[in-house]
Each structure stands twice: as structure tokens, then as C-alpha cells.
Amino acid sequence: MEKKAIDLAKQIIELDLQRDAILEQLLALLGDRAYEILRHMQNKY
């Protein structure tokens, strides 16, 4: 595989792990309301 493709794949994986960690923080802060607020923010942008 091309090095650029491998680098991009690694970057996607890192972002996915970061997203999971941030979602855990949001869930800890807001509980089940986190999904409602996240959906609202996604629809807003």
C-alpha cells in the first residue's frame, strides 16, 4: 500500500479513538441526555 494511504488510515483510527474518549466525557457529564444534545448539535451544523 501507498504510504499516504496508510498514514491517512492511521489518522482516521486516531480520530476515532479521540472521538470515543470525548463521547465518554460527555456521557459522564450529561448521562443519557448526551445523545440528545449531540444529535441537536449535529443537526445544527
Cα distances from 29 to residues 25, 32, 40, 41, 43, in angstroms, run 6, 9, 17, 16, 21
Q: How many domains does the chain have?
A: 1
pLDDT at residue 11 greater than cutoff 90: yes
pLDDT at residue 45, as a whole number: 86
pLDDT at residue 3, as a whole number: 96
Task: Kindly report the average pLDDT of the chain as a whole number.
Answer: 96
What residue numbers bound the domain in which 29 lies? 3-44
Q: Percent of the chain, pLDDT > 90?
A: 96
Q: Whole-prediction pTM value?
A: 0.77
pLDDT at residue 7, as a whole number: 98
pLDDT at residue 1 greater than cutoff 80: no
Task: Calculate Rg over the CA atoms of the chain.
Answer: 15
